[in-house]
Chain A
Amino acid sequence: MRVLRIARTALVTLAAHKTRSLLMMLGVIIGVATQNIVFSAVLGARATVMQGVEKFGLDSLMIMAGAGRRPGVIQAEPVTLRVGDAEAMAAEIPNVKHVCPQIMRREVPVKRGNKSSYSVVVAAPAIWSSVWSTEVEEGRFLEDEDVSRRARVAVIGKTIASDLFDGEDPIGKKINLASNIFEVTGILESRGTSVTGIDMDSRIVIPLTTGQKRVFNQEHVRAIKVAVRDASIMGQTVEDIRSLLRERHHLPRGAEDDFTIVTPTKVIAMAMKLSSTFALFLVLVSGVSLTVGGIVLANIMFIAVHERKREIGLRRAIGARKKDILFQFLLEALCVAFLGGIIGLGLGMAGIYILKTVSKIPAFLMWQPVALALSSALVVGLLSGYLPARRAANIDPSDALR
């Protein structure tokens, strides 16, 4: 087969000019490696968001106090969302399975003896554990009785446990939280860092009533998490909740909601939109280095075509057609680019591995970056090989042999 013989010729040429082939490859290697790292990191970040949303629960929704945040507008903390709202939802809307009203406050100082730390305090009913599917690893979680007694008991996260207890068993010990003495009843299982960057293991969960009366001195809650029975009619449930809350909050027709309902589909849509715009941007930016690699490749190809003018003239004289020459040079560019792509991919994967070990950047090995790396290497080879190859094919043989 003529095609195979010409292909072999191209490979032999590349092997014979190792330095030149390597130089041609270098830009593609760097470009593909960069792109690979960036793309993998972006996909990893997106997967983390998705995992976060799944943890939140696809059959859950969240009612936040206040209208959605708007840039530049300072909002006073809304005080209209009440425990009664949660109870009314559970009583009046059939699809509502559980409600979990809660107060959250960040950066609350917690002390024990001379040790101290900052915590995220969550005041919630006993159902919090199952609604957020977060179990205790040791001891026990809050019970209904704790809530009705306004008990000074707390379930703490791992970070707090290690900050305050330093290896001691915290169960049954006392801690000082916002000038109240609490008894530790349990330790929450580890949940790592949330998508928004909060250390989930620095949480301290206390009974909702204790939070209301003893710690924060407020009747209103920050949020109500709702678990529904049937996730397929989520949309209808959201509407039912909205009209119930508007009625309870005496909002006149046309007035803005004083609460925000967040559903997992909304969160996913937002996260996807955000991350795909961001991803596209990053991949495009990393594509710049690949473009530069392609230009380098094309330039060296042009020089090589000039240097090999006599070879081209000779090949034409002994029977090579223009398309044979075109094919030979295009294939040389493609092979260089593809090999560069594979090497770049290897370097990129090594880079991702290093990133994962030295930092918390979530990056996984996935097939999409591999496919992107190899296909973009081929595209670069094709684009930067075509013009030089066409120039080679159009060299006038009688002129080249003079």
Chain B
Amino acid sequence: MLKVRNLSKVFRKGSMEVSVLDDITLSVSEGEYVAIMAPSGMGKSTFLNILGCLDRPTSGTYLLDGVPVQDMNDDELSHIRNKKIGFVFQSFHLLPMMTAWENVTLPLIYSDSDVDMKSKAIEVLQSVGLGDRVDHVPGELSGGQHQRVAIARALVNDPRIILADEPTGNLDSRSSDEVMRIFRELHSSGRTLVVVTHDPEVAREADRLIEMKDGRILADRSTSAFREGAAG
């Protein structure tokens, strides 16, 4: 599903060049649940952004569903982000002036389908257990509820791939458990999940654990737990 070959990313700061990702080759199959662990600031967010078509590699190729993504223009990448990918962020990125359901409808604005946005949003909010919070604005919700609204937003266009960047980084352990439970459900429904984290508890949930350091892959192994949902 996701195939990355010889991927590198170099940032330029004045005359200095900082290599963030260095010759990464990796493939993630449909339905896999992958955790990426790395010390902070070691390029894992950049890697996730490239996987999410939000950033471009400096060199290397990236096939998404067999389609080379590195040559696509901005409109095509936007379309892919809208249709195929759901992002979950550490700091949620909910718009504070909007209610939960309005936040969830945001991806529908940019999709070309003409579903009834409100009922679709409420339906997804119910599926993450927030059916009674649809009309609340973020200021009236707890941290865990924030992240569940954000997950509902990521799911509203029914993407096949969920990319999560430290999804539990700002949450207490009870809320983290709730988020992890939702991720397990998404996994068992056949979605592909890539979760960047530095929390071993979160990483342990995945089928596969990739450890990165200094922009390279150190280790790539299967974890023993929860392998029954993985499809090759």
Tell me which residues across on chain B come within 8 A of A13, comparing CB atoms.
97
CB distance from A121 to the nearest CB of B (A): 75
- Residue of chain B at shortest CB distance from A315: B106
Contact: A6 with B109, CB < 8 Å?
yes
Q: Is B52 an interface residue (CB 8 A)?
A: yes
CB distance from A394 to the nearest CB of B (A): 10
Mostly, the A contact residues are: helix
Contact: A319 with B93, CB < 8 Å?
no
Tell me which residues across on chain A come within 8 A of B109, comparing CB atoms.
2, 5-6, 9, 320
Q: Using CB atoms and an 8 Å cutoff, list the residues of chain A in contact with chain B.
A: 1-2, 5-6, 9, 12-13, 16-17, 310-311, 313-324, 396-398, 401-402
Give the residue of B49, B110, B112, B117 whose beta carbon is less than 8 angstroms from that of A318.
B110
- Residue of chain B at shortest CB distance from A314: B93
Give Cα distance in the complex from A17 to B82, angstroms.
27
Contact: B110 with A319, CB < 8 Å?
yes
Give Cα distance in the complex from A356 to B74, angstroms.
57
Tell me which residues across on chain B come within 8 A of A12, comparing CB atoms.
97-98
Q: Is B87 an interface residue (CB 8 A)?
A: yes
Contact: A321 with B55, CB < 8 Å?
no
- Residue of chain A at shortest CB distance from B56: A398
Tell me which residues across on chain A come within 8 A of B87, comparing CB atoms.
317-318
Give the residue of B45, B49, B110 whose beta carbon is less than 8 angstroms from that of A315.
B110
Known: A315-B110, A318-B106, A321-B75. A398 touches B81 (CB 8 A): no
Give Cα distance in the complex from A396 to B11, angstroms.
13
Tell me which residues across on chain B come within 8 A of A310, comparing CB atoms.
93
Contact: B153 with A317, CB < 8 Å?
no
Tell me which residues across on chain B come within 8 A of A317, comparing CB atoms.
52, 54, 81, 87, 93
CB distance from B113 to the nearest CB of A (A): 10
Contact: B106 with A314, CB < 8 Å?
yes
A-B contact pairs, 15 of them (CB 8 A): A1-B114, A2-B109, A2-B111, A6-B109, A314-B93, A316-B54, A316-B78, A319-B78, A319-B81, A319-B82, A320-B109, A324-B78, A398-B45, A398-B49, A402-B45
CB distance from B11 to the nearest CB of A (A): 10
Give the residue of A311, A319, A396 whose beta carbon is less than 8 angstroms from that of B95.
A311
CB distance from B120 to the nearest CB of A (A): 13
Contact: A401 with B93, CB < 8 Å?
yes
Give Cα distance in the complex from A143 to B220, angstroms.
120
